[in-house]
A = this chain, B = another copy of it.
């Protein structure tokens, strides 16, 4: 595991978390969750996080205010997940730059990390799809979760 993912596994901070139960159809022919599905889990908690922070993605798309497609995604698998298991999917950190940001995720089972990951997004102009500074409404939402100070307790 590289250093960044090591940090995510060890992080005690949680900016947003959701409990879910592994679905019947998320398992593959080997009997464990198909590896790509954890990226669906990551994205679901990212969407819920934005909604909780007052910058819902559905509104941004409808109104054409911002769009921030992925430039990079990665995950490290620490143990397999099985149908019916209860998991907690959390955002543990957000890192903001001028035109990009990274979101760190962790999936826990019984309080132990089962998977960690990171997505890196680029803010682009919704019309020309060119790189642009992160719009204020999005920056504020992400920053609200990226405070250096007291850990934010928010879970849902």
A residues near B (Cβ < 8 Å) are 1, 23-25, 27-32, 34-37, 39-40, 43-44, 47, 51, 56-59, 61, 67, 69-77, 80, 82-84, 119, 129
Contact = CB atoms under 8 A, between A and B. Distances in A.
Contact of A44 (B23, B71, B72): B23
What is the total number of copies of this protein in its complex? Answer: 4
A59 B85 CA distance: 11
Contacts of A32: 69
Nearest to A48: B21
Closest 7 CB pairs of A and B: A58-B84, A36-B39, A74-B74, A29-B83, A27-B29, A25-B34, A35-B70
A110 to B, nearest CB: 16
A43 B25 contact: yes
A67 to B, nearest CB: 6
